[in-house]
Homo-oligomer: A and B are copies of this chain.
């Protein structure tokens, strides 16, 4: 009744449900019982698959981290000219975060408390040897060498872009309380405008004065 048999195996169902619960409530707030209930199974079976809460959590955290990293890397793999690349990145990145708006905060929560195994995972996923050679860094360095943008530490640009893209979703509750009139708010439209605003500010903040490309 609750289980549509054969439509997915139990392990996937557990992982899917556990991800929801962990993202909603964090490691400490999540309850094994709730995960079991929402997955339509019982607690015994849950422990039968993933021995402990920590093992289950670690599984899911790594999955989310890898997925997020993969999403970003994918966005950078294109041969568009700088302007289009930046516009594309901002638009698609905001789309991704929009569809998974709890993920960034979830990741940062865990990073702030401990972050032991995290660094391993991150280094593993990104396969970092030389920070100079990161795709994102190269993209901005190239644009600088070609004179398309002003000279500036590329890391500062990256932090600015990601921060500008993420912050609305991380801080949405407080932003809406303070900044937005709820009686007259079209969220989808606002997010669409957000893409344009981030691009306009960053792009025209980087392009040298006196040349419009």
A204 to B180, CA, bound (A): 26
A183 to B203, CA, bound (A): 31
B156–A193 CB distance below 8 A: yes
- The one of B111, B167, B205 in contact with A163, judged by C-beta atoms closer than 8 angstroms, is B167
- Produce 1/0 per residue, A185-213, CB < 8 A to B: 00000000110011011111110010010
List residues of A whose CB falls within 8 A of some B CB: 24-26, 28-29, 102, 105, 107-109, 111-113, 115, 118-119, 122-123, 126, 128, 131, 134, 137, 150, 152-153, 155-160, 162-168, 170-171, 173-175, 177-181, 193-194, 197-198, 200-206, 209, 212
* 29 A-B pairs (CB sep. < 8 Å): A24-B113, A25-B113, A28-B29, A105-B108, A108-B174, A111-B171, A111-B174, A119-B173, A123-B177, A128-B177, A128-B178, A131-B181, A153-B193, A155-B179, A155-B180, A156-B193, A156-B197, A159-B179, A160-B164, A160-B167, A160-B197, A162-B167, A163-B171, A166-B167, A170-B170, A200-B205, A204-B209, A205-B205, A209-B212
